[in-house]
Amino acid sequence: MYVISEQVAASIGSIEATIPLVERAFADFARGDASLLPIAIGKGLDPSTSFGAKGGTIRGLGLVGVKIGSYFPGNADKGLLAHGSTTVLLDPDTGVPVALIGAVCLSAIRTAALDAIAVRLLSRPDSSSLALIGTGYQAWWDLSAIIATRPIERLLVWNRTRSSAEQFAIRASREYGIDAQAVDIETAARNADIIVTATASRDALIERKWVRAGTHISAIGADNPGKQELATDLVAASTLYADLTEQSITLGEFEAAYAQGLVKQSEITPIGAVIVGEAAGRAADEITIFDTSGTALQDLAIAKVVLETALAQNLTVTIDV
């Protein structure tokens, strides 16, 4: 079995190489040529911790595997990352483990890759202003993906800690040469063509009255029951898309609005259906919302990219299993 460390995986993970495989994976899923296992989520020995597994297959890419993710908030006191992530690929013919891949960085990259696809399909082509709500690791990857997808000229950044937003804006301005400013959350939402929410919030952050017609929102933060970043009346007033519709109403952004009876699962379009042309993308003046809570389709796709790159560059370690 090949072992690819977190450090190696992070150094060779590529949004550009991952996007076409993620798009292929969701197209295959829409056509019935890929499958997903039910997500398993549980608590660790400490009830503040959690871990889970996402697995699936992508027939056309010859991929079978599972990703194990964890969240242990006390790790910061131990000098460790709070989030953990490891992907295991299996031989599609024998079930024997083929690769063990450190996937903390890859989880952020694959999320951004799918968001780039959603932004391309659901935002206005002339979108030039972006609001980032949250300034963590994921937000930076999504910024990189969206800048490569739309002609972004202005970036509005909000974080609960003002200094973090200011530092993020300075870095974005320096690295991408765009007008980047730290602002209050209402100003960010009111003046954006595209809004990305990437927080761990359990309360609505973005209000309906702040979002203008024609805006696209990518909701990324809600990935466990009870998380929420958007007001339910905003969700109810928008055209809705998701990586997985059933997941979006159980542990994603649409959970709260669904529980209140404001939206039906049938009103949420899977992004794969848009990719293959079975469903429409944006109409000119509507508000679109794309909810992604993450799937094994993305994890398997980026694992393939990293494994092939690592083998080509002789960056793997081999162990017997």
Express each pLDDT in 1-39 by its tens digit: 999 999 999 999 999 999 999 999 999 999 999 999 999
- pTM of the predicted model, to two decimals? 0.95
Quote the pLDDT of residue 221: 94
Q: Which two tokens stand for residue 10?
A: 């992070």
Q: CA 100, CA 98: separation in Å to the nearest integer?
A: 7
pLDDT digits (tens, 9 = 90+) for 67-111: 999 999 899 899 998 889 999 999 999 999 999 999 999 999 999
pLDDT of amino acid 227: 95
- Rounded distance between C-alpha atoms, residue 197 and residue 157, angstroms: 10
Residue 266: its pLDDT value, please? 97
Structure tokens at 190: 């009111």
Q: How far is CA 108 from CA 21, 44, 159, 215, 217, in A?
A: 16, 23, 18, 24, 18
The residue type at 195: I
Is 220 strand, coil or helix? coil
Cα distance between residue 212 and residue 137, in whole Å = 27
Mean pLDDT for each consecutive 10-residue tract of the chain (321 residues)?
97 96 98 96 93 96 97 91 94 97 97 97 97 95 96 97 97 97 98 97 97 97 94 98 97 97 98 97 93 97 98 95 76
Report pLDDT for 83. 87
Q: Are 118 and 21 in contact (CB under 8 A)?
A: no
Cα separation of 127 and 115, whole Å? Answer: 15
Beta-sheet strands, E only, within the chain: 2-4, 34-36, 40-43, 50-58, 63-71, 83-90, 97-102, 129-133, 154-158, 179-182, 194-197, 202-206, 216-219, 228-230, 239-242, 268-270, 288-291, 317-318
Question: Quick one: pLDDT at residue 224?
Answer: 86
Q: How many CB atoms lie within 10 A of CB 171?
A: 15
